[in-house]
Amino acid sequence: MARARNAIGNTLVLIGVAMLIFAVLWWGVAVKRIVVFPRGYDLSFRAEATVTRLAEKHGLLETTPAQTGRVALDRNLSSMDGDYHGDIAVVEEVIEADGQAPFGLNLDERNIYVMDRRSCENMSSTLSTSSGEVVDRSGSWYVNFPFGAGRDSRNLFDNDVASAFAVSFEKKDVINGVGVYLFKGSHGHRPMVDHEVRAIGLPTETTFGEIKGELAAAGIPIDTLVRSASSNLTSEERQTFAQFPDSRPIALEYSIKLEWAGAVEPVTGTIVKIGRCRRSVYVNTEVRAFLPLFEILARHAEDPQVLQYLSQVEQQKLLEPKELYRIDYGWTDAQAAQATEYAGSRIGPMRFVQDYMVTMFLLLGAGFFLGGFIVRRKEHMRTAHDAAGPDEGKGAEEEKGP
């Protein structure tokens, strides 16, 4: 009987140890294999966008009042299952305007994201593209936050500027009965990459004649200024002005300011709503091209008319970028409800795999181990007591005395 009880205790201890080891292996191996960005991912959203034109042409001529137009943007995210391999997930994002976008802009997009299936972090890959151009998004997130997303700041990728910006936790909220974290972030002027300029349909250059026309409308007639100063110009300065015919091409430089606010379901990392996204498109001429002219004007700054025009250039900040377009959009409540429903359906299975299974085996393992240890301990004490015998126990009592 004693041997059987001892065997039971040993068995319980072994079962407990096995379960504890299984819990550790489940967490370290199984969870990483099971909790990954899924295949068969397919979600569609509709955003209501407002496009505001704040300047005519290249930004020197402001539009008063600003003109606005509206358009619906349909966005689809779908996994490219054929390109999945190992821990790599590939997701295609397609954005299409429902009808003609205002002011002749092309707001359609096609982007391909390559992500680590376990962390959802973007990876460097030749498959990672934006408007058909390869782009390195490594070290950033989007189209998904990491699983178990906490309140840490994250770097989201902006395709227009081919770089990431930080978004920070704001507060907790509930959408469609699902708990979410609200994040907000922005970035200031960043150069717009050339392929995105072409994709949206913006001109990449203008002419010196166009710029002179806009400057004249802003109260700075270059031709009049040159004629009035011509008697004081040197031959070299006249040659410099001659290098600026009306047909001379002048490059246009675009920059973007971005404001972003969205909601994330933290267990799945799903972006369930973009409450507000504002892209402000700024334009400026290539200021470097005008440096020879500005140097000439600076040398003749004692001329009252030259001084007046230079002062007007400074006052109107004509050498700084001007806001050309402002594009605002956000997901509708119906689309947010659809996204939260999808995320909510994945919360239970993910928690079961990565939380409940581990906890269950840890508790069972600890219970079996302690149960077996207690059985062995009791059997050991019973065996020691039997080995001492009744006489030894009686002797011990006599030594105590009355």
Q: Which two tokens stand for residue 36?
A: 């990954």
Decide if 323 contacts 55 (C-beta within 8 A).
yes
What is the percent of the chain with per-residue pLDDT over 70, rounded to a whole number?
A: 79
CA 15 from chain centre, in angstroms, equals 46
Q: How confident is the model at residue 217 (pLDDT cuts 50, 70, 90)?
A: confident
Report the C-alpha gap between 262 and 248 in whole angstroms: 45
**Structure confidence at residue 84 (pLDDT):** 94
More confident residue, 107 or 303: 107
Q: How confident is the model at residue 402 (pLDDT cuts 50, 70, 90)?
A: very low
Decide if 277 contacts 194 (C-beta within 8 A).
no
Report pLDDT digits (tens) over 182-194.
Answer: 999 999 999 999 9
In degrees, to the nearest 5, what angle opens at C-alpha 28 toward C-alphas 25 and 31? 100
Cis status, amide bond into 65, omega within 30 of 0: yes
Of the listed ranges 2-11, 42-51, 333-342, 360-369, the least confidently predicted one is 2-11
Phi/psi for 135 (5° steps) reads -135, 140
Report the C-alpha gap between 286 and 46 in whole angstroms: 37
Report pLDDT digits (tens) over 244-271.
Answer: 899 999 999 999 999 999 999 999 999 9
Q: Please, what is the average pLDDT of the chain? A: 83
Report pLDDT digits (tens) over 35-63.
Answer: 688 899 998 888 899 999 999 888 778 88
**Residue in the structure block whose two tokens are 């990728």:** 157
How is the chain split into domains, by residue range?
2-31+354-400, 35-331
